[in-house]
Structure 1
Amino acid sequence: MTLHLDPDRLFPVDPATRDVARGLYQRVAELPIISPHGHVDPRLLLDDEPFVDAAELFIRFDHYVTRLMHAAGVPLTDLGIPSRTGGAVAAPRDVWRTFCAHWHLYAGTASGYWLQHEFATLFGINVQPSPSTADALFDVIQAALATDAFRPRALFSQFNIEVMATTDDPMDDLAAHSALAADPLFAGRVLPTFRPDAYLNPATPGWADRVANLAEWNGSATSSYAGYIEALAGRRRYFVEHGAVSADHGVLQPLTVDLTESEASALFARALTGSLTAEENKVFAGRMLLESARMSVDDGLVMTVHPGVFRNHSSETFDEFGPDTGHDIPVATTYVDPLRPLLEKYGNKPDFHLVLFSVDETSYSREIAPLAGFYSSVYVGAPWWFLDAPDAVLRFRSAVTETAGFYRSSGFIDDTRAFLSIPARHDMSRRLDAAFLARLVREGRIDSAAADRIIVDLVDILPRTVFKL
């Protein structure tokens, strides 16, 4: 079976609408990639070491890929993921063979789409993975990875990435970012992102130790709530000084709670002793999400909120293999009531940007688009995780555009750890936006000139504007 990339993939079937989509796509196909939210380790680019093998590159760390094989009964150790209890782990070539034997599972999925794009455009692969082609494909990829053209920096340049943001612990010294920024041989912008979740929610394992680290850095008492707030603000300033443009919050629900200083301080003191109830933990975390918004108003960091994921749903899998191993599951999410305390205080503050993401499709037209259609601070985040797929992206556009238009959205967010998939994901988004706009043109809802402007703005102007780039 051949692997062929249709040049008109993802475009409408109707020939006339497809022609319009093709023209719109061509306007943006070669524009630089702006990636203001992702999870690539900056040390990948700093060290510039060759990728090890096809299994590590495409399978081992990509839970989009591993979860479907696990669902089909493949043990995670057969996919190169080590057990915390020890034991044998499959060799890379065997992992790749297992993947190729299960390639049919990815038909119609976003992962399958991206992988085909990567295989064809980066490695010149023109046959489908299968048991009979597995070894030959592994050797083709391995030979390419041994060349200088497949070092991370060379690929960064080849991918035409202008800006790429990472996701970083608040106490990270950001040395890798500093080194990249100072390197005259590296022309791209790699920006840190402040990710404080584990420092804001007392229910997170190790929270008290992290608070103690903040206090030590700040020179304040661990027991001081004022010192805790001061230290968080100080670390945010440190990130701003190192190029950060946003603070990202991955919460189960976007709850914000308005408390007095004395109420918050009393909860903080009890949290340090581990005596808060589950409900009190939620209240304190909600207070800190509201406090984070205040800090964004003060320091200018864009506030992004990524809610709605039940992390580590399988206790058995978490205990044996740890987090990020494929068992994070979306939950229903609401925004209007939980975010009202935040929006009452800061929703129309000048220069405050709040980007709301969702993995609950029902929230787009019911809550997020109407909020973004009124509050000057609110932007609709692009589809992420489970929804960053062709049909879901088109549903997203239909759900939000009639209420919020195009210009209250964030632009595309790839949100990935899989470095080689970045161009595939952005190309997918550009094709889908071209398809959506082409339909509006053909239906007489917008004219061609407007579509020409919008397609460029979605790819370039909006992410720069929303993320203050």
Structure 2
Amino acid sequence: MLHEDRLFASDPTQRAIARRLYGEVSALPIVSPHGHTDPAWFARNDAFPDPATLFVVPDHYIYRMLYSQGVRLEDLGIPRKDGAAVETDSRTIWRRFAAHWYLFRGTPTRLWMEHALETVFGVTERLSPATADRIYDQVDERLRRPEYRPRALFERFNIEVIATTESPLDPLEHHKAIRASGWSGRVVTAFRPDPVVDPEFEGFRTNVERLGALTGEDTATWSGYLAALANRRRYFMEYGATSTDHGHPTATTADLSRAEAEALFAKALHGDATPAEAELFRGQMLTEMARMSLEDGLVMQIHPGSFRNHNPQLFTAWGRDKGADIPSQTEYVRALKPLLDRFGNERDLTIILFTLDETSYSRELAPLAGHYPALRLGPSWWFHDSPEGMRRFREMVTETAGFYNTVGFNDDTRAFCSIPARHDVARRIDCAFLARLVAEHRLDEDEAAELAVDLAYTLAKKAYKL
């Protein structure tokens, strides 16, 4: 199924150059500096139970498409918050998925899925209702083998390091177990403080109280609250964290006086903050996190611009991260100015900006990253983690920010078996882009070969201090 020249230009000159460049990077180790795989997989090293649980149930890229065509989430085995009955027969779920596989024509999900089926499980026929049971049986049989357990696949995928993402309230028990096991695989955590810095996050006040209990700090006070956050950051660093991650609705930042911040925190903690005040508090906390990053060295990632849980019925029944997050227009130049006024010129601080608003690439993000020493641009993310999205990113930011104000690629996925596929797509697209520059005599091929390695491996490792 997989053509050796997939994603390369049809022009023979560019295609030949891309092949040579890809040959330099195809076997490089995978650095996965930001993602959402479950650390329990690597701590317990239990076999994945079945094909549907591996591929369908955890992957919102898959079930959001099926939901858009009228397939109920219950029928795909997606667990409900209230524990109500959902489909539990894995083969039935797989058959439903196969019956709708045609929906993924032309999507990156199809690229990732077919790459995983062929290169990991040896499947060489297209998924369809007619082939569903054969493919299910082939994948299911292999999942029972020891070489298909999470740690073995981690090593087979040539993963050098992978970062998971946890709340400050997480005790990191799985990371402790991984460390205690003596396994050589490098799995690190990342600090995601949203539950305790967003007044509109469900259970915010209770979360802040739990933060205080974990740290022994009085989180009813502004100073105690900040001390507790710094404490948890240090704790996460003990388990390998090199980065923080902030999934705010916008890129708004603020730089309030201490008195203003204390008053705003009190309103947020008591549930009295208006939506505008909640947004201001989140903005203040981005600036506080930048200050802490300058002190402790953690790289800061800002992932704004997603209207989370846009479908209230889905959120009520299934909760967060169920395919109902929608990109929204995002402004950066004015939004980031309070933070940049304080920290933008710091050479020892790294803030990686992401966007779901592609219109901001050349107008705002590339000029900002092309000037401020503290800023770098994250790769095409989420809805734009696709061949076309990656091409647009390179075309729109390179002329202003260059390559070295970007940070390579990260897969940002919950779907473990898609990781090699996602990195392979990114490497192929970057090689195709570089091949065009070489063919147009804008870049020498030896420079392109060096860049290909940097984009596939070196930049991510350096930017995330891995």
> What TM-score range do you get, normalising by the shorter chain?
over 0.9
Q: Tell me the CA shift for residue 339 of structure 1.
A: 0.4
Moved >4 Å (runs of 4+): none
Trace 1:334-353 onto structure 2 (pairs within 5 A).
334-353=331-350
Q: Tell me the CA shift for residue 382 of structure 1.
A: 0.5
| 1:52-76 per-position Cα deviation (integer Å, ceiling 9, x unaligned) | 1111111111010001111111111
Secondary structure at the residue paired with 2:291?
helix
Q: Which residue of 1 aligns with 2:453?
A: 456
Trace 1:427-466 onto structure 2 (pairs within 5 A).
427-466=424-463
Residue among 131, 143, 155 paired with 2:141: 143
Q: Which residue of 1 aligns with 2:190?
A: 193
Trace 1:92-241 onto structure 2 (pairs within 5 A).
92-184=90-182, 186-241=183-238
TM-score (norm. length: structure 2): 0.98
Supply the distance in 1 between the matched residues of 2:237 and 2:80 (Cα, whole angstroms). 38
Matched, 1:359 2:356: yes
Q: Tell me the CA shift for residue 182 of structure 1.
A: 3.9
Q: Which residue of 1 aligns with 2:293?
A: 296
**Alpha carbons 1:77, 1:90 under 8 Å: kept:** no
Trace 1:18-29 onto structure 2 (pairs within 5 A).
18-29=15-26
Secondary structure at the residue paired with 1:60?
coil
Gaps in structure 1 of 5+ consecutive residues: none
Q: Tell me the CA shift for residue 337 of structure 1.
A: 0.4
Secondary structure at the residue paired with 2:20?
helix
Secondary structure at the residue paired with 2:113?
helix
**Alpha carbons 1:348, 1:377 under 8 Å: kept:** yes
Q: Which residue of 2 aligns with 1:65?
A: 62
2:365 maps to amino acid? I
Secondary structure at the residue paired with 1:43?
helix
Supply the distance in 1 between the matched residues of 2:427 and 2:190 (Cα, whole angstroms). 25
Name the count of aligned residue pairs: 465
TM-score (norm. length: structure 1): 0.97
Secondary structure at the residue paired with 1:386?
helix
Matched, 1:317 2:314: yes
| 1:344-388 per-position Cα deviation (integer Å, ceiling 9, x unaligned) | 110111210000001111111111111110001110101110100
Supply the distance in 2 between the matched residues of 1:78 and 1:455 (Cα, whole angstroms). 43
Q: Which residue of 1 aligns with 2:384?
A: 387
**Alpha carbons 1:51, 1:145 under 8 Å: kept:** yes
**Alpha carbons 2:78, 2:86 under 8 Å: kept:** no
Supply the distance in 2 between the matched residues of 1:167 and 1:83 (Cα, whole angstroms). 22
Matched, 1:406 2:398: no
Q: Tell me the CA shift for residue 335 of structure 1.
A: 0.8
Supply the distance in 2 between the matched residues of 1:149 and 1:141 (Cα, whole angstroms). 13
Q: Tell me the CA shift for residue 81 of structure 1.
A: 1.4
**Alpha carbons 1:348, 1:376 under 8 Å: kept:** yes
Q: Tell me the CA shift for residue 84 of structure 1.
A: 4.0
**Aligned pair in 2 of structure 1 residues 84, 222: CA closer, same or farther (>3 Å)?**
closer
Supply the distance in 1 between the matched residues of 2:71 and 2:390 (Cα, whole angstroms). 30
Trace 1:261-300 onto structure 2 (pairs within 5 A).
261-300=258-297
Supply the distance in 2 between the matched residues of 1:124 and 1:116 (Cα, whole angstroms). 10
Q: Tell me the CA shift for residue 173 of structure 1.
A: 2.2
Supply the distance in 1 between the matched residues of 2:318 and 2:203 (Cα, whole angstroms). 19
Q: Tell me the CA shift for residue 88 of structure 1.
A: 4.3
286-295 or 313-322: bigger deviation:
313-322
52-61 or 20-29: bigger deviation:
52-61
| 1:5-58 per-position Cα deviation (integer Å, ceiling 9, x unaligned) | 101100110011100000000101000000000001111011000011111111
**Alpha carbons 2:33, 2:410 under 8 Å: kept:** yes
Secondary structure at the residue paired with 1:223?
coil
Secondary structure at the residue paired with 2:244?
strand
Q: Identity over aligned residues, as a percent?
A: 50
1:108 maps to amino acid? G
Q: Tell me the CA shift for residue 272 of structure 1.
A: 2.0
Supply the distance in 1 between the matched residues of 2:236 and 2:369 (Cα, whole angstroms). 27
Supply the distance in 2 between the matched residues of 1:218 and 1:389 (Cα, whole angstroms). 41
Matched, 1:329 2:326: yes
**Alpha carbons 1:34, 1:164 under 8 Å: kept:** yes
Supply the distance in 1 between the matched residues of 2:129 and 2:462 (Cα, whole angstroms). 47
1:409 maps to amino acid? T
| 1:363-418 per-position Cα deviation (integer Å, ceiling 9, x unaligned) | 11111111110001110101110100011101111011111111110110100000
Supply the distance in 2 between the matched residues of 1:49 and 1:308 (Cα, whole angstroms). 36
Q: Over the residues paired in the alignment, what is the CA RMSD in angstroms?
A: 1.1
Gaps in structure 2 of 5+ consecutive residues: none
Secondary structure at the residue paired with 2:383?
coil
Supply the distance in 2 between the matched residues of 1:16 and 1:39 (Cα, whole angstroms). 39
Supply the distance in 1 between the matched residues of 2:216 and 2:176 (Cα, whole angstroms). 24
Q: Tell me the CA shift for residue 241 of structure 1.
A: 2.2
Secondary structure at the residue paired with 1:248?
strand
Residue among 87, 90, 96 paired with 1:89: 87
Supply the distance in 2 between the matched residues of 1:220 and 1:173 (Cα, whole angstroms). 16
**Alpha carbons 2:151, 2:185 under 8 Å: kept:** no
Q: Tell me the CA shift for residue 284 of structure 1.
A: 1.2
2:223 maps to amino acid? A
**Alpha carbons 2:77, 2:86 under 8 Å: kept:** no
1:97 maps to amino acid? R
